[in-house]
Structure 1
Amino acid sequence: MQKIILDCDPGHDDAIALMLAHGSPDIELVAVTTVGGNAVLEKTTRNALGIMTMAGITDVPVAAGCVRPLIGEGEDADVHGVSGLDGVDLPEPAMELDPRHGVDLIIDTIMEAEPKTISLVPTGPLTNIAMAIRKEPRIIDRVKEVVLMGGGMHVGNWSAVAEFNIKIDPEAAHIVFDAPWEVTMIGLDVTHLALATDEVAAKIEALDTPLGQFVLDLFAFFRQAYHDEQGFDFPPVHDPVAVARIIDPSIVGTVRAPISVEIRGEHTQGMTVTELRPAHIPPDCHTQAAVSLDADRFWDLVVDAIDRLGQEQSSSTQVN
């Protein structure tokens, strides 16, 4: 079973990532940390607690992390609405926040575990991860791998060439990509293939559970927002693709390539510059980029996780 820390900024697609991480029998979600990104930290943290309560994820420590990027003020992602999770009503949290700062929860969890047993899965700006490296560099050698949602080889969404998570805190992204650990970039090149189509919605509707309806409500708002903001017929559900890569690496095809984050360009800040020329890829290259997605198998994992969580809730209700 793969152990992960999910560092997130919920966010509609982060909600699905949380459900996939806890609902998959192949993942042990050992900690959740939040960061300012899709909305301000107060909102992303409240959203994380509400999502986890809705999905019955009440036995995992949750800690709030960094309020703002390393440099600059940060921005919100309008596509998620004013609350960062518009379109659904969240329950009151069933758990308290861990008193530690999110960066300290990341460090403590990694340092207390056996080396190479925990993977980091950041699905928001990389501020918490960069700060953890700076505060405790020994985590670099102890983390199994970093599989992050962000960036892209050929496409941007927060500028012509930069993806939101990287563009919001490019200095943090530079630190994370440059550190000597295994990094897999799950970028827009493949997450734009993870579309919540009518067929996907029908499979979730067929589950006939309150959690399934909650997901459908998420999709409904996200679909309209993505259509209005970016012209998509169906919304791409980015973040759970990173979790799926941990569960079954064969679902997401990758190429090994050096990846650099542009932090100085007037028009290219936040661009993830991916070196694909074979002669310029060193044998010890520690970064790779996602290039393909088996969307059907990906959605099978997601639907199965939502079903599993919904059935667990039903069983718990019957027992009580």
Structure 2
Amino acid sequence: MQAAYEALMSTPPGTAYVVATGTLTNMGVLFTAYPKLASHIKGLHIMGGAIGSSFTPAPMGVISNDSGTSREERFGNWSKYAEFNIYCDPEAAQSLFTNPELKTKIMLVPLDLSHLFLATRQVQEALLHGFDQEQRVQVSTVRQLFNEILTFFAQTYADVFGLVQGPPLHDVLPVLAIMAPNIFDDHGGERFDVDVVIDGAHGTEGIARTESRVGQTVVKTITEGSSGVRIPRNLNTDVAWRMIDLCLDLAEQRSAKRTVVRPA
């Protein structure tokens, strides 16, 4: 924690971003142990949470009962109500979202947003061969590896969560929001108070089998002009995928050895 604090404080005030794409225990400890850090950084971008209630038009998935005879809507990915990163340490998440100095600098990317960013078959092909397909006749090792990682959980998302169009991409979004904040639509500056349910039993029967709401992310729109957490409701997916394509181009260029694999 001290090393992270010192590294961030070594940057000019109001310039450093912190990106959290996993459970928030370390973030909670960091900003509790070093309260000055909240005013020093420019932003904290978090991938996590699930809101539901048609917060966005994203497909949030379904869950089968134990016998597999019925399926019902859900919006969490670990429990029926909670996303994994928040569920694992809801107290840490709550400490961040209720920190008055920090919450105004938080951008939250919930499943409601990342489930709009689906790697459809068309996107997969474009990223595998490059968006400028006319000039690319071979598939690089970099792009082949990325494609394998991208599609690894595709069947799971289809079977468990009902996302049949393609797997969503989550963790890249809070990073893209630093590089291109304007491709994310927050309805002209909409901001939220965020509360995390910390009371309730943690499930013991595996994924999404508990009725407890522990870890649920509850949001409330605040008065226009007030300071709160930024939670975009949409994004320009075309630009976002193009940015990833450009990153893959750079990775190819900087790869010391670019073994070429011909597509089957």
TM-score by length of 1: 0.62
Pick aligned residue for 1:187 from 102, 107, 110: 110
Distance in 2 separating the partners of 1:220 and 1:210: 15
The equivalences for 1:32-47 within 5 A come to none
Asked if 1 retains the 8 angstrom alpha-carbon contact of 2:86 and 2:215, the reply is: yes
Secondary structure (helix, strand or coil) at the match of 1:124 reads coil
Post-superposition shift, 1:265? 4.2
Check whether the contact 2:192–2:231 (CA below 8 A) recurs between aligned residues: yes
Residue 225 (structure 1) aligns with: 156
2-side partners of 1:317 and 1:164: how far apart? 37
Are the aligned partners of 2:9 and 2:37 in contact in 1 as well (CA < 8 Å)? Answer: yes
**What residue number does 2:218 align with?**
273
Per the alignment, residue 151 of structure 1 pairs with 49
In the alignment, structure 1 residue 293 sits paired with structure 2 residue 238: no
d(CA) in 1 for partners of 2:228 and 2:218? 15
CA RMSD across the alignment: 1.8
Contact in 2 for aligned 1:189/1:290 (Cα 8 Å): no
* Structural mapping, 1:120-159, within 5 Å: 120-154=18-52, 155-159=75-79
Structure with the higher helix share, 1 or 2: 1
- Identify the range of structure 1 (265-274 vs 296-305) with the bigger mean alpha-carbon deviation: 265-274
- Cα distance, 1:117 vs. partner? 0.9
**Map of 1:248 onto structure 2:** 180
Provide the secondary structure at the position in 2 that maps to 1:203. helix
Give 2:93's aligned residue.
173
Between 1:116-125 and 1:226-235, the stretch displaced more is 226-235
Mapped to 1, the partners of 2:111 and 2:117 lie a distance apart of 10
Gaps of 5+ in 1: 1-102
What's the CA shift for 1:220?
2.9
Determine the structure 1 residue equivalent to 2:146.
Answer: 215
Runs (4+) off by over 4 Å: none
* Superposition map of 1:47-66 within 5 A: none
Percent identity (aligned): 30
Distance 1:265 1:143 in 2: 33
Kindly state the Cα deviation for residue 282 of structure 1 after the two structures are TM-superposed: 7.3
Pairing of 1:38-117 with structure 2 (within 5 A): 103-117=1-15
After TM superposition, give the deviation of residue 172 of structure 1 in Å: 0.8
User: Take 1:287 and 1:232, find their aligned partners in 2: how far apart are those partners?
Assistant: 28
- Unpaired runs of at least 5, structure 2: 53-74, 131-138, 202-211, 259-264
CA–CA distance in structure 2, aligned partners of residues 297 and 132 of structure 1: 33
Matches for 1:7-18 after TM superposition, within 5 Å: none
Out of 195, 206, 215, the position equivalent to 1:260 is 195
Contact 1:151 1:166 in 2 (8 A): yes
What SS does the aligned partner of 1:290 have? coil
Following the alignment from structure 1 to structure 2, what is the Cα–Cα distance between the partners of residues 153 and 106? 30
Given residue 211 of structure 1, which amino acid in structure 2 is its aligned partner?
Answer: V
CA distance in 2: counterparts of 1:288 and 1:265, whole angstroms: 27
Aligned mates of 1:162, 1:243 — CA distance in 2: 22
Q: How does 1:14-33 map to 2 (within 5 A)?
A: none
Structure 2 partner of 1:236: 168
Question: Structure 2 counterpart of 1:273, which letter?
Answer: V
